[in-house]
Copies of this chain bind each other. A is one copy, B any other.
Amino acid sequence: MTAPGLPMPVPAPGLPARVRIHEVGARDGLQNESAVVPTEVKAEFVRRLVDAGLTTVEATSFVHPKWVPQLADAEQLYPMLADLDARLPVLVPNDRGLDRALALGARRIAVFGSATESFAKANLNRTVEESLAMFTPVVARAKEEQAHVRGYLSMCFGDPWEGPVPVAQVVRVCRALLDMGCDELSLGDTIGVATPGHVQALLAALNEAGVPTDRLGVHFHDTYGQALANTLAALQHGVSTVDASAGGLGGCPYAKSATGNLATEDLVWMLHGLGIETGVDLGRLTATSGWMAGQLGRPSPSRTVRALSHKE
């Protein structure tokens, strides 16, 4: 615990008054967990996240159960969340996934593309063009059903095989995703190598290509400790949608290929310190992440969760 009144809200000029946090812990955070989490626990996790004030909580993925066994219970989980007053988007990898999501009444979906050929090949077993061709009818049909579509784009800054990713290449794939009907994009630094100047350069290049900032979210990983500094740089550019994962869930930070997501609590600490509204109750969120860490049997990698959990 820390003294009351902290963080002290001191606004900085030119930042958004309010930030919408796109909470990914229940989907992106859990999908790499090898031990399958019971469906009831997942439902309780989402419920607690909403109770903590998060308004957008990505709930699950309608991916083939063979690829992500952890999320094989999407059909069971999604209806358990029907009474929650929040946006509960779901990931759909393809046409079949969209069918499943739509059949359950989901009207907020997300597709997941890659800015680089190497990752498109590794993750989707397709070229970037082939993956865009695969998404086109998915997004078109989702829009016919009045669904809101988010396009995730991974490897927007660096790629483990290709190194730095040219800004123009990212802009081209972003344009393609918007042109096929995506309502918003999430710019992913999947391996956590971005730095603040690179973030602002990509955002500026997207603006120049006709993409308004209010259709862009950012999705930073803390692999090299850069996620929050990059978030600040994005806020300074006017971005007001930020992805984060409660407790920093997602990839084990102590393991090979550490790829932890930005922890929602660390983000909220900064935003509240900047006087930016989030609607989140930090104490309740921290308690939720502490509870989930208990379910997973290991401590949260979020520094804020660790600091606030130590009663002195």
Interface positions of A (Cβ within 8 A of B) = 2-12, 157-164, 191-198, 200-201, 222-226, 228-229, 231-233, 253-254, 256-258, 263, 266, 269-270, 272-275, 299, 302-304, 306-307, 310, 312
Whether A158 pairs with B225 at a CB distance below 8 angstroms is no
Some 9 contacts from A to B, beta carbons below 8 A apart, are A7-B193, A7-B194, A7-B198, A8-B198, A10-B195, A195-B273, A225-B302, A229-B229, A258-B303
CB distance from A272 to the nearest CB of B (A): 8
Q: For A11, list chain B residues within 8 Å (CB).
A: 197
B225 touches A266 (CB 8 A): yes
A112 to chain B, nearest CB (A): 21
Query: Of B6, B160, B226, B229, which contacts A193 at CB under 8 A?
Result: B6
| Residues in chain B near residue A232, CB distance under 8 A | 196, 229, 232-233
What's the nearest-Cβ distance from chain B to residue A236, in Å? 8
Q: Which of B253, B266, B275 contacts A303 (CB 8 A)?
A: B253
Q: Are B158 and A6 in contact (CB under 8 A)?
A: yes
Chain B nearest CB from A16 CB (Å) reads 13
- Quick check: B312 and A2 within 8 Å, CB to CB? no
Known contacts A201-B10, A257-B310: A274-B228 contact under CB 8 Å: no
CA distance A273 to B227 in the complex (A): 13
A223's nearest neighbour on chain B, judged by CB, is B307
Q: Which of chain B's residues have a CB closer than 8 A to the CB of A160?
A: 2-3, 312
Does A269 contact B226, Cβ atoms closer than 8 Å?
Answer: yes
Number of copies: 2
Q: Is the CB of A270 within 8 A of B307?
A: no
Least Cβ distance of A219 to chain B in Å? Answer: 17
**Could you tell me if B194 and A258 are in contact, using CB atoms closer than 8 angstroms?**
no
* Inter-subunit contact A195/B7 (CB<8 Å): yes
In the complex the two chains form, is A225's CB within 8 Å of B3's CB?
no
Residues of chain B with a CB closer than 8 A to A198's CB: 7-8, 10, 273
Partner of A3, one of B161, B222, B266: B161
Please give 16 more A-B residue pairs, beta carbons under 8 A apart, in addition to A12-B200, A224-B266, A229-B231: A3-B161, A3-B162, A10-B195, A12-B233, A194-B273, A195-B272, A198-B273, A222-B225, A224-B304, A224-B307, A225-B228, A226-B228, A226-B269, A226-B273, A229-B229, A253-B303
- By a CB distance below 8 angstroms, the chain B residues around A193 are 2, 6-8, 273
Flag if A306 contacts B258 (CB, 8 Å). yes
Whether B273 pairs with A304 at a CB distance below 8 angstroms is: no
A291 CB to nearest B CB, Å: 19
Please, which residues of chain B bring their CB within 8 A of the CB of A253? 303, 306
Select A157's contact among B8, B158, B159, beta carbons within 8 Å.
Answer: B8
Contact between B196 and A299, CB atoms less than 8 A apart: no
| Chain B minimum-CB-distance residue to A12 | B197
When distances are taken between beta carbons in the complex, the residues of chain B under 8 Å from A164 are 5-6, 8
Closest 8 CB pairs of A and B: A195-B273, A225-B266, A8-B164, A12-B197, A10-B197, A5-B163, A3-B163, A225-B303
